[in-house]
């Protein structure tokens, strides 16, 4: 069943979009820092996302479509991805990718706002992609 993939993806997408709405409202659409000591909230509209693979909105949609089709194929056909944990991880990654795609389609750039000062500014969707893929890979080895 792909229900775990859809539930985790939907939850990540909702959390990502709510956090971005909060971040946009907190700094009122301007670049700058909010009053938290760490992690610092700093609004960055990243027009250079997608690892440079997609240079237009159409390219981003194509990249998302290929990633989504591959994710669904992995979760439904490949034996190593047949457990719930792997599907939740894949869903989280897909939900994060969808959140960033929505930003590109709406604003022409991805809304990043979490600044650790030792890493590039990122968002909840980026975290879900990395954690989701890592969790999925770990379930294959353990």
DSSP 8-class letter at 43: E
Q: How far is CA 133 from the centre of its chain?
A: 11
DSSP 66-119: HHHHHHHHHHHH-GGG-SHHHHHHHHHHHHHHHHHHHHHHHHSSEEEEEE-SSS
Active site residues: 112, 126
Neighbour-count burial of 11, counting CB atoms closer than 10 A to its CB (0-12 exposed, 13-18 middle, 19+ buried): middle
| Full pLDDT tens readout for the chain, 142 residues | 689 999 999 999 999 999 999 999 876 545 455 555 567 888 999 887 655 555 678 888 998 999 999 998 988 898 888 889 999 999 999 999 999 999 999 998 899 999 988 889 999 999 999 999 999 999 987 7
């Amino acid at each position: 069943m792909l229900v775990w993939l859809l539930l985790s993806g939907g939850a990540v997408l909702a959390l990502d979009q709510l956090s971005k709405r909060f971040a946009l409202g907190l700094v009122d659409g301007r670049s700058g820092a909010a009053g938290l000591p760490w992690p610092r909230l700093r609004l960055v509209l990243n027009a250079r996302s997608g690892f440079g693979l997609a240079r237009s909105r159409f390219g981003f949609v194509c990249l998302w479509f290929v990633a989504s089709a591959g994710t669904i194929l992995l979760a439904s056909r490949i034996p190593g991805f047949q457990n719930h944990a792997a599907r939740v991880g894949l869903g989280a990654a897909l939900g994060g990718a969808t959140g960033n795609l929505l930003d590109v389609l709406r604003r022409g750039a991805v809304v990043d706002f979490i600044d650790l000062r030792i890493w590039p500014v990122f968002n909840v969707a980026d975290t879900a992609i990395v954690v989701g893929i890592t969790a999925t890979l770990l379930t294959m080895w353990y």
